Amino acid sequence: MPKVSSDTLWELAAEEVRSREAEDGEEESGGTLVERTVFLMGSKAGGKTSILLRCLDRDEASKPTLALEYTFGRRARGHNTPKDIAHVWELGGGSSLSDLVQIPITPVSVASLSVILILDLSKPNALWGTTEKLLEVARSQLEKVFSKAQQQQQKSKPGARHQLFHSAARVLPKDYPDRELISPFPVPLLIIGSKYDIFQELDSDKRKVVSKTLRFVAHYYAASLILTSIKSESLMSKTKSFFSHLAFGVDKSKTMSCDSTKPLIIPAGSDSFSQIGAPPTTDVDIPSLHAKNPKDLWRKIYECVFPPEKASEQKELKDPAKDPQYSEPQIDAMRAQKDQELDQCKRNAAKTWK
């Protein structure tokens, strides 16, 4: 009898489990537990935790997210059936801790993974930079996971199906709007614009720039888009509907609003470049921008209206120990004392060397 390596046995066992889960997930009346993973990231202090708690129906005060935090939600599909589970990861610190995406985005989670990007509408100058940085890091990690899955598939027996790769790879329908002109995010993506109540106080022309730009970005990545506020029960109800679709497989919301004077609510696949129109070019000389592609053009026009944060300000956020939202008086006092002792030790050592 030929010897079979333990790695191969584990791969076959994992493939069998994933296959059964996929079959059970297709049966609405099935009694098998379904687990999904949702990864939240976005603007620093942008209201991610508050929105998440509302979506999970938890009546508790939100606290600043420390680096990367995990929680979960449950939902029953019907009577006498086990509750489905949503594993929820939340990344804190804006884009400063983006390297931590490798923890929630793994070969185990990617087959049922969705990503939610929450952007703080009250800080439009940081909006594009936060979006681009976080989505690039997440996409890079997803590509690494898919690449590893492909390598495993090539090593398996001829004709064998690698459930991880096939079930995780996102494929848009042939009739998806502007299918050849967009760059779909590898997994389902939801973009949430938070603090809409504060956003309404902006000048109407600037609100239009933000709204149209978010529509372009969402459509470019084949993502759903909603602008919301935790102070509005109606908007939070619609936000929860989008979240429940990703977390528990609930039917998609059919509500849609493309009016820039109102909160945008646009399910993925409902918009198009022709409906969005050209970038708002008020007081902007387009030829002088030297854009390489449509996305680059939108970015440059947006940054003409909302100049991005200075690099020096962004570098300061790289050290969570200096971030006010993570302050701990007793620990900070002890840290300051130890820093002083270290400086004194260095000075004494320098004198000794001389």
Main-chain phi, psi angles of 337, to 5 degrees: -65, -45
> In this structure, are 245 and 339 located in the same domain?
no
Whether residue 303 lies inside any domain: the answer is no
Is the pLDDT assigned to residue 148 strictly greater than 50? yes
Alpha-carbon gap, residue 96 to 257, rounded angstroms:
33
Identify residue 81 by its one-letter amino acid code.
T
Number of Cβ within 10 Å of residue 149's Cβ equals 20
Q: What pLDDT is stored for residue 131 in this prediction?
A: 95
Domain that holds residue 348: 327-353
The pLDDT of residue 173: 87
Q: Tell me, what's the pLDDT at 202?
A: 93
Q: Which residue, chain included where needed, has tokens 């690039």? A: 136
Q: Are residues 153 and 31 in the same domain?
A: yes
User: DSSP characters for 39-83?
Assistant: EEEESTTSSHHHHHHHHTT--S------SEEEEEEEEE-STTSPE
Helix ranges restricted to H, the chain: 6-26, 48-55, 127-155, 163-168, 196-199, 204-220, 233-248, 273-276, 294-305, 311-316, 329-353
Same domain flag for 254 and 336: no
Element (H, E) at 190: strand 189-194
- What values do phi and psi take at 67, rounded to 5? 60, -95
Q: Mean pLDDT across the stretch 98-120?
A: 92
Higher pLDDT, 6 or 105: 105
In the DSSP assignment, the letter for residue 252 is P
**Confidence label for 27 from pLDDT (cuts 50, 70 and 90):** very low
C-alpha to C-alpha distance for 139 and 23, rounded to whole angstroms: 27
Count of structural domains within the chain = 2
Tokens describing residue 214? 């978010």
Specify whether 346 is located in the same domain as 222.
no
- SS3 of 226, please? strand
Q: What is the pLDDT of residues 284-297, one digit of tens each?
A: 666 667 778 889 99
Cα distance between residue 47 and residue 45, in whole Å:
6
Q: What is the CATH number of the domain that holds 164?
A: 3.40.50.300
pLDDT for 242 equals: 96
pTM of the model: 0.77
Note whether 253 and 338 are same-domain residues.
no
Average pLDDT over residues 251-260: 88
Distance CA 182, CA 170 (A): 14
Domain shared by 160 and 241, yes or no? yes
34-82 pLDDT per residue, tens: 899 999 999 998 999 999 999 999 988 888 887 899 999 998 877 766 7
Could you read off the pLDDT of 111-146 as tens digits, one per residue? 899 999 999 999 999 999 999 999 999 999 999 998
In this structure, the answer to whether residues 164 and 35 fall within a common structural domain is yes
Residue 308 in domain: no
Supply the pLDDT for residue 22.
54
